[in-house]
Amino acid sequence: MSTLRVLKIDNPEDKKILKTKCRPVTMAGRELRRLIADMFETMNKAEGVGLAAPQIGLPIALTVIEIPPPTEKQDDGTEIEVGPSTRYVLVNPKIVQASNDEVMRQEGCLSLPGWYGEVPRRSWVTVEYTDENGKQRRLRKADGLLGWAIQHEVDHLNGVLFTERMRDPSTLKKIDDEQAAEELAKKA
């Protein structure tokens, strides 16, 4: 496995690739599995929840998402993990249904590290995709962090950046304190 370079919104050459509408994935087998493993490694090293192929310079419709494990707060104030994290590999995903209502969320992006802003997202989405084994899948009414991540990553595949979804650009703020960034991500 390899850690790959994540393209940045503020780099003009990178932004050209990030703004490209992706083509369908045609690779399969070992080549695809290796790319997926590299994407998860890259995403985890950057402490992200999702990563789309254009963020590593590949204009193909592939994204990986990892939802952190659920936690419970203990009487002493500490939190413990009560389940595993959940990984998703979405090849050629398409959002086929979305709620009519929206939720405003603090959102960030590995292509603009440290910056967060208010982004409206649908409260749930249904997405159809192919998994890494070539099987057709459908996630119905994905909500919460998973629903938000799907919408964010599918936007990447369509050349749309989260900053373009913001209704009020003044909400975009640099968060230097790691703890503050973690709190914002938890609320998302």
Catalytic residue among 153, 164, 178, 182: 153
| DSSP string across 72-96 | EE-TTS-EEE-S--EEEEEEEEEEE
Residue 66, token pair as written in the block: 């990892």
Q: What contacts 112, CB < 8 A, 6 or more positions away?
A: 8, 9, 10, 161, 162, 163
Coil vs helix vs strand at 154: helix
Report the distance separating Cα 164 and Cα 75, nearest Å: 42
132 is catalytic: no
Burial 28-59 (b: 16+ CB within 10 A, else e): eeeebeebbebbbbbbeeeebbbbbbbbbebe
3-state secondary structure string, 27-62? Answer: CCHHHHHHHHHHHHHHHHHCCCCEEEHHHHCCCECE
* Residues forming the active site: 153
